[in-house]
A = this chain, B = another copy of it.
């Protein structure tokens, strides 16, 4: 049984066969693969810097007003991102699962516009790497520079969707789009968080589920 501690560097893998390493980190590695095709050698430049982080349901991974210097790759677990809107209400804007990356946009691109907190929906295991380490790779490694380019394009598309596209949809359309985008949402996210994400009451979600024969 592999022992994992908060913040421990994964040097323990140094003498483990590459395939075994890939089994333990399968979802974190899939998060890298999602954005740009990198050689195994290039990927190792990040994987060898991975630190393991385990946290409990309800704990906060990234605080909205504190810059976080890491990219966190979700190996196992679920998170939600939320912010406090102008009326003081907590508004959920994103759900993350295995193979997603959690990070502070303000830290990543040095701006000060998006203040979101990342909170755990389940006990979770992350592999984290310093943003500065990845940015150093961008400078000298063409494939990592392209990874950064494609990663940013993906972040852009998701943020535009989050901020804009949803506005013109009905609650039912939003709900269907959300659950279609990721089966995990329906199975692993509490009703109240789905309601907050859609900007409706939990009762409305129950009604929608009934309409859609989900209950």
Contacts and interface: CB of A to CB of B under 8 A. Distances in A.
Interface of A: 86, 109, 111, 113-114, 138-142, 145-146, 148-149, 152-153, 155-157, 159-161, 163-165, 168
Q: Which of the listed residues A138, A148, A156 has the most CB atoms from chain B within 10 Å of its own CB?
A: A156
A178 to B, nearest CB: 16
Given A86-B168, A163-B163, A164-B163, A109 B146 contact: no
Contact of A153 (B86, B109, B157): B109
A140 B141 CA distance: 10
A211 to B, nearest CB: 25
Given A113-B161, A139-B142, 17 more contacts: A86-B168, A109-B156, A109-B157, A111-B157, A111-B160, A113-B157, A113-B160, A113-B164, A138-B146, A138-B149, A139-B146, A145-B148, A146-B149, A152-B152, A152-B156, A156-B156, A160-B163
Nearest to A164: B163
Contact of A142 (B140, B161, B163, B164): B140
Contacts of A148: 145-146, 149
Contacts of A139: 142, 146
Nearest to A156: B156
18 contacts: A86-B168, A111-B157, A113-B164, A113-B165, A138-B149, A139-B146, A141-B142, A142-B145, A145-B145, A145-B146, A148-B149, A149-B152, A152-B152, A152-B156, A155-B156, A156-B156, A156-B159, A159-B160
A112 to B, nearest CB: 10
Contacts of A142: 139-142, 145
Contacts of A146: 138-139, 145, 148-149
A146 to B, nearest CB: 5
Contacts of A155: 156
A154 to B, nearest CB: 9
Contacts of A140: 142
A161 B114 CA distance: 10
A70 B6 CA distance: 48
